[in-house]
Amino acid sequence: MFQCVCADANTAVYGYLGTNASATGGGYANSKVTVTVTGTSSSYTVPALINTLNGTWKAYLKPSAAGGSYTITAACTSGCTGSAAIHDATFGDVWYCAGQSNMALPVQYTYTRNASIAKIKKGGSALSQIRLTGIQGNMNADQPWITLEDAVGGTAGQTIPSYGAVPLDHFSSTCYYFGESLVEGLQGSKDAATPIGLIHTAWGGSMIEQWLTNDLISECKGADIAEHNGVLYDNAVKPYLSMAVKGWVYYQGENNAGGLHGNSGVLSGQKPQPPSGYGCMMPSLVDLFRKAWSTEPGTTDPKAPFGIVSLSAHDSEGASDMASFRWAQQGSYGTVPNPIMENTFMAHGFDMQDPWNGKTGACVTDPGTFPGYNCETPWFMGPSIHPRLKKPVGQRLALGAMKEAYGSGGGLFAGVIGGCTSSNGKLTLAFDVADGRTLTVRPYNKSNPSLSATAVLINTTWFPVHIALGATEGTINVDLTSLPAGSPAPSGVRYAWGTTDGGNGGGNIPNGNDVSCCEGDGVAAPCIPTQCPLLTPEPLAPFGALPIDPFLAQIVGGKCFCPEPQTCSK
């Protein structure tokens, strides 16, 4: 067996000597393998390292410029016989995509499937730089390395194949749209010609424990040590550790949202809590992947970028406290990157549930507003648990990768709550906004304050309130005039964190206590993505804007205090 996965840093080729190798001198001890690389800009030979116990071998290639066409030949030169070669190999950046069903959701179940296939079939675009591969999963097919043109049945003609008819249909949609958006976003930059490799390994229904090891799980209080732990780490991660990757994107949590959300444990109080739950395991996963892939010096960067997707209002499998789970996905710091999750980026999904739900919607009634979106695309297990709006998720992930991995563009971070002032019946929120961005409030129907996604706590009840831009850049004024007469000063404030329907229950919000900013029925009054009002404009982002991080804060002495370790008391 001989496999090659080629990145522009040192990567490995590896194989098995077979049973015909010499058994003299202690098994495979006398065997030697050399690997020769010949091609566009370099030719060289390197020796392979032989595992004398099981007959496997591995050889590390030299760093190569992106692109090119190479032949890589492995030959037994002693103690064994035979050779094998890979032709037309190219070097580029490889991204690894993991998670559960919303990462695994195949392309055929997304609104923009037809538009993407048409673009690929047309040919002549930078998308020809993309290569795909992936393992057999419970939602995806096994896929050896394949070009994008072959993944859609070639470039001849413009006929759009039926759903499920081509290899791309069975590939992870979030992973593909991430790669598509990354390639298009890098055009005009120094990395414009870099081929992009995408690996999907997601498994529907998987929990984060299956991607971790038991020794790391045991460090997180409240996490169970079970037989299924580490299964995907063994079967979906380890086979790719010989590959030098550019980074990772991870979309998971649906099956953990009903469990202990926990905390990363980095607290400043007199009695710091031990790390617990998902808030502990998510940073551990980032560290595990980085350490596992960078064991060999000069291969994967030990601080390579790691992208995360926060769950939407529809894909939590019924968990009610979704806001604190998204907070746990950020290592309980309220935003990423943070001190324990460096060089990470989060593509928020809280404002991107399936906006048109059934097979009718604004992408049919008003296609000019939503070019490329097809409401008649099929769904997998219903549209709400697996939102079909995956291209915007990929676009957001690409923005984070462009900034963190390539130093291009303004990145994914929009802003996070920095502090507040409360006095004389007025409440003003101040945000730490990304450099070069401005805070905006999207117009919403002022007859319904819940559409602001903002609420204040009076005694034990959360009341929705209107918001407007403040006089100082980066500030928001909260309108308290709608509160019941004689109300005391608010003791808390939250944004996109729990229901804003005027009570503590869920009303008609899909997941009980989760926020929903959609103000229309999806047909006559179109619900569009990025409906929640606090945004920062970003031309490269889907629908032209990025969302501010959700938050929850206690108000004490006229100042805001977020749950530790998050700070927002400026």
Say how far residue 308 (Cα) sits from the centre of its chain: 4
pTM for the whole structure: 0.93
In Å, the largest CA–CA distance within the chain is 92
Distances (CA, A) of 31 to 44, 48, 564: 21, 10, 57
Q: What residues contact 79, with CB distance under 8 A and at least 6 apart? A: 21, 22, 24, 28, 29, 30, 31, 32
3-state SS, residue 20: coil
Share of the chain above pLDDT 70, in %: 88
Residue in the structure block whose two tokens are 């991607």? 211
Cis geometry, peptide bond prior to residue 337 (ω within 30 degrees of 0): yes
pLDDT by residue (tens digit) across 302-354?
A: 999 999 999 987 666 767 788 899 999 999 999 999 999 999 999 999 888 78
**Cα dihedral sign for 532, 384, 507, 505?**
negative
Using CA atoms, how far residue 95 sits from 66, 134, 300, 405, 477, in Å, is 15, 11, 11, 11, 42
Question: Quick one: pLDDT at residue 290?
Answer: 98
- Give the closest residue to 207 by CA, choosing from 312, 284, 101, 136: 101
Exposed/middle/buried for 368, CB within 10 Å: 0-12, 13-18, 19+?
exposed
Look at residue 274 in the predicted model and tell me its pLDDT. Answer: 83
Q: How far apart are CA 361 and CA 384, in angstroms?
A: 14
Which has the closest alpha carbon to 427: 382, 477, 463?
477
Per DSSP, the chain holds a count of helices (H) and strands (E) of: 11, 27
Residues of the chain with pLDDT under 50: 1-6, 8, 22-25, 501-511, 521-522
Instruction: State the angle between helix axes of 173-185 and 391-406 in degrees (0 to 180), rounded to the nearest 10.
Output: 50
Contact in structure between 310 and 348 (CB atoms under 8 Å): yes
Check whether domain 2-90 has CATH 2.60.40.10, yes or no: yes
As annotated, the residues of the chain forming the CATH 2.60.40.10 domain(s) are 2-90
User: What is the residue whose two structure tokens read 């957001």?
Assistant: 396
The length of the chain, given as a count of residues: 570
For every residue of 458-484, DSSP letters joined together read: ETTEEEE-EEEE-SSTTEEEEE-TTSP
- Cis amide prior to 565 (ω within 30 degrees): yes
pLDDT at res. 509: 42
pLDDT at site 416: 97
Q: What CATH number does the domain located at 93-406 have?
A: 3.40.50.1110
Q: Where in the chain is the domain with CATH 3.40.50.1110?
A: 93-406
What is the model's pLDDT at position 366?
A: 76
Q: Which residues contact 390 (CB under 8 A, 6 or more apart)?
A: 102, 105, 110, 111, 112, 173, 174, 177
